[in-house]
Amino acid sequence: MHASDPAAVSTAAAPVPSHESERARTHRGSFPSVGDTPLRPLARIVADQGGGFELSAKLEFLNPTGSVKDRAAALIVQQAFADGRLEGGRTLIDASSGNTAVSYAFLGARLGFPVELCLPRNAHPERVARIERYGARVVFTDPLDGTDGAQREARRRATADPARYFYPDQYNNPANPEAHYRSTGPEIWRQSLGRVTHFVAGVGTGGTISGVGRYLKEQRPTLEVVGVEPSGPMHGLEGLKHLPTALRPSTYDARVVDRTIRVDTEETVEMRRRLVSEEGLSVGMSSAAAVLAAVQVGRSSPGAVVVTILPDAGHGTPEDPS
- Give the fold, CATH level 3, of 69-166: Rossmann fold (3.40.50)
Position 238 scores a pLDDT of 78
- List, by residue range, all CATH 3.40.50.1100 domains of the chain: 39-67+180-310, 69-166
CATH number of 39-67+180-310: 3.40.50.1100
Q: How many CB atoms lie within 10 A of CB 173?
A: 23
Q: Of the candidates 298, 63, 299, 308, which has an alpha carbon nearest to the alpha carbon of residue 203? A: 308
Catalytic one of 58, 69, 217, 241: 69
Residue 29's pLDDT band, with cuts at 50, 70 and 90, is low
Catalytic one of 96, 97, 183, 286: 286
Q: How far is CA 118 from CA 50, 102, 283, 307, in A?
A: 45, 12, 24, 32
More reliable by pLDDT, 10 or 53:
53
Position 244 scores a pLDDT of 85
Q: Is residue 286 annotated as part of the catalytic site, yes or no?
A: yes
Q: Is residue 282 annotated as part of the catalytic site, yes or no?
A: no
DSSP string, 95-163: E-SSHHHHHHHHHHHHHT--EEEEEETTS-HHHHHHHHHTT-EEEEE-GGGHHHHHHHHHHHHHHH-TT
Q: Is the pLDDT of residue 316 over 50?
A: no
Position 10 scores a pLDDT of 35
